[in-house]
Structure 1
């Protein structure tokens, strides 16, 4: 069984303080992953977002998923921030006993002139087969005609889940699911129109679409996905479907 887990940038960093890790939250996530590796989870791929590392740097250079830059200083600033965060995530996972190893999209992925993404999964499949937990992250990638643009963690989750034929997809956020106008968790989403009125951007700088972007990306999957908070991470890894289930209506 293959599980693709997204740890939101707002979960593992303090999004109101630039380039600051949320240590206690990251420790909780790492402990939950370690416990699951000793239980129900076999093959696990982790993807983490940019939080206060990637998003402020991308915003400073005006780089989004659509608008790019040809300035190498901007490329290095954004990619460098993300690899720094990746090292923090890897360290906490390794401290918890997880055999985590890095996978950097900038070195492998690209977009063509139509913005179609190519992200080879062979490296990740090989690492899974050898007993590792690949840890990927939002990044910048080469983009024909744009220099580089942002590749969001949500895009990576969808692409890898499809290529790996993942059985379970989870997005760990700072909220217990997608919330309605009364802040109650919406149990299931089948179309974007069902929730368009209540979805907006995130409270902090986010160049990849906030919750609306997550839902749009997850609706592209054939398999159901779950959106939940850190309190429910262990439940998800144990096989449950906490929070909001996003599953496209046939």
Structure 2
């Protein structure tokens, strides 16, 4: 059974402070994964205060690109630095993590359609590793380089690996309605659209609204939950908001 876990950038970093890891939160997440011992696990993490700051500075988003090589390197290098912190935290707890950097293998065509080969992910899973991917810069025909969000990667992994479970760990306990109550289940974006606004901190990938739209496209049910729901998800429970289109 393949499980995909997305750790939001706002969970593992302080998104209000440039390139600042939330080390206690990251270590807590790493310990939860180590203790759960989930087999066939793929981890994806967001950009947080690393990639998002650099992308915003250079005016790069999921749709607006750049032909400035310096800008592309700045975004990618920031994400590699964050990825290094993630690998260290999990590796210190004997989780067999290895990195896969999407900038090296992914691309968008002129219509924005994503190509992300998964042969290396499948092989690493089969060999007992835990692949770790992350939001990144991505080659984009006609745009130069744009941003590939962690949520897009989750969608590609879920379809390409025929995932059984998908979990998205965010800073909130689930998708919240207009009264700030957790919505138990979402089957249609229009049912929750009014409650979904923009992210309060710098986020070039669309915040919760984009996350919900992406997760509705999965072929497997997904759960959005806060850090306190991570252990429950890894143990097979259904914390937070269940999203299934």
1:28 corresponds to: 28
Cα distance in 2 for partners of 1:221, 1:136 equals 18
| 1:185 maps onto 2:186 in alignment | no
Please give the alpha-carbon distance, in whole angstroms, between the structure 2 residues aligned to 1:147 and 1:186.
Answer: 39
Pairing partner for 1:220 from 217, 220, 232: 217
Write out per-residue CA displacement over residues 20-60 of structure 1, whole angstroms, 9 at most, x where no aligned residue.
000000000000010111xxx21000000000001010000
Q: 2:220, 2:15 → 1: CA distance?
A: 30
Q: Are the aligned partners of 2:4 and 2:42 in contact in 1 as well (CA < 8 Å)? A: yes
Which residue does the alignment assign to 1:234?
Answer: 231
What is aligned with 2:132? 135
Misfit runs of 4+, over 2 Å: none
Cα offset, 1:190, TM superposition: 0.4
Alignment TM-score, normalising by the size of structure 1: 0.97
Aligned counterpart, 1:121: 118
Cα distance in 1 between the residues matched to 2:219 and 2:51: 29
Q: Residues 63-74 of structure 1: matches in 2 within 5 Å?
A: 63-74=60-71
Q: Is the 2:158–2:219 contact (alpha carbons within 8 Å) kept by the matching residues of 1? A: no
**Residue aligning to 2:73:** 76
Helix, strand or coil: the match of 1:54?
helix
Task: State the TM-score, normalized to the length of structure 2.
Answer: 0.99
Alignment map for 1:1-250 (pairs within 5 Å) = 1-37=1-37, 41-248=38-245
The structural deviation recorded for 1:93 is 0.2
Task: Specify every segment of 5 or more residues in structure 2 that has no aligned partner in the other structure, as ranges.
Answer: none
Distance 1:48 1:9 in 2: 6
* Count of equivalent residues: 245
Distance 2:224 2:63 in 1: 25
Contact 2:6–2:154 at 8 Å: present in 1 too?
Answer: yes
C-alpha distance in structure 2 between counterparts of 1:222 and 1:34, whole Å: 27
Aligned mates of 2:94, 2:34 — CA distance in 1: 6
Unaligned 5+ runs, structure 1: none
